[in-house]
Chains A and B, each alone.
Chain A
């Protein structure tokens, strides 16, 4: 039951639009029937924004509603949208995969870009920039479609808040198996905590704020301080992507030059360092894309399962010198596909927080976590011959 009484509504008038489009009159509206005029207003909005044909297809819009609701840990809407998508011909398995990670849900490249955009707008709000809009244009979306995408994210947030406020329980028994913890925290107050923690992360005081302001006010020389301070992080991010010190040095210069040129557009809603690493990653990607052996940052390959399960010695490092370990790690990290390599590098070598790394790569937090884990497991696999009890003693 909802916090307010759910009233059985006749499926007539404007409510028939709900029935037509959702197959039922969802409980979230039945719980508002003490004010039919307010329900009517919402139905009209849904009709204009969601039900009517627009620049985006209905399925694309439902994908956005589904993804963003899942990212919000909403316990009601993912089930409703999966059901609606089934009406529209999308298999439940695919919707389920979108909830877990839309990169591996067999979607077209443009739909993946669309959902990346929606997730970033919804979850990384304060660090959302014109680069995100530009990414959608590059994926061949026109401005009308971009506007609709933005409105869909806004609509999802509105509906999610209404549901949390009314405490409405799902219309359907969810057929979706959500990953532990990511979705459906049992208590609404936990959801709030997660959100406010994220907000704090992004609006925290930027230690570079003052220098950035000086550069923006025309003091070009002050930029030198930023290059000196962040050079190491930019260089290491680029080296781990490109694998060559010469290329990393060139790309570092390009990245800082770009950052300087775009500084007037930097709105200070994310930390300068996050924004800078994002530019560096994009610079590195442009170079990697030109290569023959380029593995796309977006395409998801088959699921990875750990195969080699042999116990390791307690301190496997002791069989190798520091120099040997360094070379071994660099060689094996460079063998990882670039998307896993970059995610692992940002988290485990640069030690960015999960939220920062996700913001840098334009991924949702669950998406970033999945890539980091995959990178770690692949790296572990490649290390087994050196560090397992059988392997280490042989060397």
Chain B
């Protein structure tokens, strides 16, 4: 049996799908019985989806070329 603490310490690997199948099975067994970890897993997964798809910290097109020029000017000095 694994504890909630064990589950949390493996949560990152589970989210990244970098996990051995036997450990995944043990985590899934835990999930089936533990509402707290279920909510935690579900909401963290959704957080990552929101972060990845939010287009945050974008590199604005208009600044890209001027920055290339600035860098190259400084290098050639």
Query: Which residues of A345-395 are within 8 A (CB) of B?
Result: 345, 348-349, 351, 354, 369-370, 372-373, 376-377, 379-380, 383-384, 387-388
Instruction: Give A330's nearest chain B residue, CB to CB.
Output: B56
- A211 CB to closest chain B CB, in angstroms? 14
Q: Does chain B have a CB within 8 A of A252?
A: yes
When the two chains form the complex, which single residue of B40, B46, B48, B59 contacts A387, counting CB atoms closer than 8 Å?
Answer: B46
Q: Report whether B13 and A220 are in contact in the complex, using a CB–CB cutoff of 8 Å.
A: no
Total B residues in contact with A, Cβ cutoff 8 Å: 45
Query: Which chain A residues border B13 with CB–CB below 8 Å?
Result: 181, 369
Q: Report whether A329 and B50 are in contact in the complex, using a CB–CB cutoff of 8 Å.
A: yes
Encode contact with B along A314-341: 1 for CB under 8 Å, 0 otherwise: 0011000010011011100100000000
Residue of B10, B55, B71 most packed against chain A (CB within 10 A): B71
Q: Report whether A249 and B67 are in contact in the complex, using a CB–CB cutoff of 8 Å.
A: yes
Q: Report whether B59 and A235 are in contact in the complex, using a CB–CB cutoff of 8 Å.
A: yes
Q: Report whether B57 and A349 are in contact in the complex, using a CB–CB cutoff of 8 Å.
A: yes
Q: Does chain A have a CB within 8 A of B29?
A: no
Q: Report whether B63 and A311 are in contact in the complex, using a CB–CB cutoff of 8 Å.
A: no
Query: Which chain A residues border B70 with CB–CB below 8 Å?
Result: 253
Known contacts A231-B59, A310-B39; A380/B47 CB under 8 A: yes
- B33 CB to closest chain A CB, in angstroms? 15
Query: Which chain B residues border A377 with CB–CB below 8 Å?
Result: 8, 11, 44
Q: Report whether B16 and A309 are in contact in the complex, using a CB–CB cutoff of 8 Å.
A: no
Q: Which of A45-53, A221-229, A292-300 contacts the other chain?
A: A221-229
Query: Which chain B residues border A218 with CB–CB below 8 Å?
Result: none
Q: Report whether B72 and A376 are in contact in the complex, using a CB–CB cutoff of 8 Å.
A: no
Assembled-state Cα–Cα distance A328/B50 (Å)? 10
Q: Report whether A349 and B56 are in contact in the complex, using a CB–CB cutoff of 8 Å.
A: yes
Q: Does chain B have a CB within 8 A of A96?
A: no
Query: Looking at chain A's contact residues, is the secondary structure mostly helix, strand, loop, or mixed?
Result: helix
Instruction: Give B66's nearest chain A residue, CB to CB.
Output: A249
Assembled-state Cα–Cα distance A326/B54 (Å)? 5
Query: Which chain B residues border A326 with CB–CB below 8 Å?
Result: 54-56
- B47 CB to closest chain A CB, in angstroms? 4
- A28 CB to closest chain B CB, in angstroms? 27
Query: Which residues of B23-77 are within 8 A (CB) of A?
Result: 23, 36, 39-40, 42-44, 46-60, 63-64, 67-68, 70-72, 74-76
Assembled-state Cα–Cα distance A42/B63 (Å)? 61
Query: Which chain B residues border A316 with CB–CB below 8 Å?
Result: 46, 50
Q: Does chain B have a CB within 8 A of A22?
A: no
Q: Report whether A181 and B51 are in contact in the complex, using a CB–CB cutoff of 8 Å.
A: no
- A394 CB to closest chain B CB, in angstroms? 17
When the two chains form the complex, which single residue of B51, B53, B59, B64 contacts A379, counting CB atoms closer than 8 Å?
Answer: B51
Q: Does chain B have a CB within 8 A of A38?
A: no
Q: Report whether B42 and A311 are in contact in the complex, using a CB–CB cutoff of 8 Å.
A: yes
Query: Which chain A residues border B57 with CB–CB below 8 Å?
Result: 236, 239-240, 330, 333, 345, 349
Instruction: Give B72's nearest chain A residue, CB to CB.
Output: A224
When the two chains form the complex, which single residue of A239, A256, A349, A372 contacts B12, counting CB atoms closer than 8 Å?
Answer: A372
Q: Does chain B have a CB within 8 A of A180?
A: yes
Q: Report whether A231 and B75 are in contact in the complex, using a CB–CB cutoff of 8 Å.
A: no
When the two chains form the complex, which single residue of B56, B64, B72 contacts A223, counting CB atoms closer than 8 Å?
Answer: B72
Query: Which chain B residues border A388 with CB–CB below 8 Å?
Result: 43
Query: Which chain A residues border B56 with CB–CB below 8 Å?
Result: 326, 329-330, 333, 349
When the two chains form the complex, which single residue of B53, B54, B67 contacts A252, counting CB atoms closer than 8 Å?
Answer: B67
Q: Report whether A387 and B43 are in contact in the complex, using a CB–CB cutoff of 8 Å.
A: yes
Assembled-state Cα–Cα distance A349/B71 (Å)? 24
Q: Report whether A379 and B47 are in contact in the complex, using a CB–CB cutoff of 8 Å.
A: yes
Q: Report whether A231 and B52 are in contact in the complex, using a CB–CB cutoff of 8 Å.
A: no
Offer 18 A-B interface pairs, CB within 8 angstroms, sorted by A.
A180-B10, A181-B10, A181-B13, A227-B72, A231-B68, A235-B59, A236-B57, A252-B71, A311-B39, A317-B50, A322-B55, A325-B50, A330-B54, A344-B51, A354-B18, A373-B11, A376-B44, A387-B50
| CB-CB nearest 4 A-B residue pairs | A373-B12, A232-B59, A329-B54, A380-B47
* Residue ranges of B at the interface with A (Cβ–Cβ < 8 Å): 2, 6, 8-13, 15-16, 18-20, 23, 36, 39-40, 42-44, 46-60, 63-64, 67-68, 70-72, 74-76
